[in-house]
Amino acid sequence: MKQSPKEKIIKQFSAMPWQPWLHRRFDPLVTYLIMVGGTREIFKTQGIDGEFPISLYDTNDWYSTQEMLSLASNEAKSFLQQKNIINLTHQCDNLLEFSRTAVEQLLSNPGDPKKDYEQVIKIITPLNVYVWVAHSSEVYYHDLISSATSAFVTPEKLETFIGDISFPVRKNSLALMENDIRAGETTKVLYKKYAWIKARGGFRPGYTLAEIRDIQKEILNKPQDKHRHVEVPPALEQAVGELQELVYLRTLRTDALWELYYLAQPIFDRAAKAFGVSSVKDYIPEELLKGNIKPVPNNYAILKNYDTIVVTDPIIKLKNSEVANSVRGVVAYRGIVSGPVKIIFTPQEISKVVTGDILVTNMTIPAYVSAMYRAAAFVTNEGGITCHAAILARELKKPCIIGTRVATQIFKDGDLVEVDAEKGIVRKI
């Protein structure tokens, strides 16, 4: 019996050597639009001749293969010759401004709920391009920067040096919020500008006024951090400038998405009532607009094979985790410290981190910063030369081990561990 194109892609992806890449629980609408943003068609809307060729999301996790990363790096090498990362970052900035204004206009002049929903989807979709631009570019720049800097530092200091030089010059939303707090901005103004920072993932609650007040107190009661600027050899100045823009873009791309999803919640709520569903987050937009009112199951997979996107049941077969008492990773900032583990998956959980805890997570995000000030060390599943945890660890001078892949599976809240960020080992004691 002849297989359909969908069945062929499912069979092809099921046979590939996928490995866990990023642990993120996204609602179907959010995941689907991220995938659409990786297609060549949507890349073209941003004047970029490229794409993120293949990708897989399956039951709370994004997966990767070496083939996927190689294809992405080749795409980045090509499109970065058309537009460098600085130009692409400015495009993302401008698109956010345009999109924010467009959503605000829909909010101030509401029309038919279904048509407004359709319009919001069209507004948000192009921003997803920059999710993939950053991922592709990081693979490309990792090889480029590692090779270029190896002539100036010893191998054991290479990752630390790259982390120090990659700190962005431009300030992200969290840094701007801290500036506003120190400048004496009122709680209400801060709430209006920055409540969305907590709403990571698309359909999540933002900060409350009380939480904003707590953040104000925490920031005003600590000394202002000063970044230690590293002298950059003249031969590296251009590459370093581009790397700093990439680090800024990594935060900007998701900040832009989560801000727009947060801003558009009233439109999504009105649309849900019009469609007769509890929330539009569980539906594929095209199907919902056609009247196919069938939610995507809680456990689902979305496969992207170039311009073809398939929504299906999970295809990854879970394996039993090995019993282990330790994990290994990459040292982002050196030091040795012990303390109880606190595992964090969402901003709503950061209050459980107290002074001296070891913060263990998939990857830190700006909304975790208050917990990072209290924690004694950071341990993450994910990692990379421009990752948030590595940059903050160097800023705060706290031991940090990234890229362990399984720390959140091996440890549980309350485990007493030693973080040996000299050898890159975290072990139960």
Beta bridge partners of 400: 333, 378
- The CA angle 414-419-424, to the nearest 5 degrees, is 140
Closest CA to 374 of 339, 345, 346, 408: 339
Q: Right CATH number for 326-428 from 3.40.50.150, 3.50.30.10, 3.60.150.10, 3.30.420.40?
A: 3.50.30.10
pLDDT of residue 355: 94
**Cα(61)–Cα(360) distance, rounded to whole angstroms?**
17
204 within 8 A of 167, measured Cβ to Cβ: no
pLDDT more than 70, % of the chain: 96
* Residue numbers of the chain with a pLDDT score lower than 50: 320-322
Residues 212, 194 contacting (CB under 8 angstroms): yes
CA distance 307 to 5: 12
Mean pLDDT, the chain, whole residue set:
90
Task: Tell me the two tokens of residue 253.
Answer: 């791309």
3-state secondary structure of 379: strand
Per-residue pLDDT at 119: 98
Record the pTM.
0.86
Give the per-residue pLDDT at 228.
62
pLDDT of residue 385: 62
Domain ranges within the chain, ordered by starting residue: 5-156+232-312, 168-226, 326-428
What is the structure's pLDDT at 189? 97
- The partner residues of 416 in beta bridges, in order of sequence, read 340
The pLDDT score that the predictor gives to residue 155 is 74
pLDDT of the residue at 121: 98
The span from the CA of 161 to the CA of 138, in Å, is 16
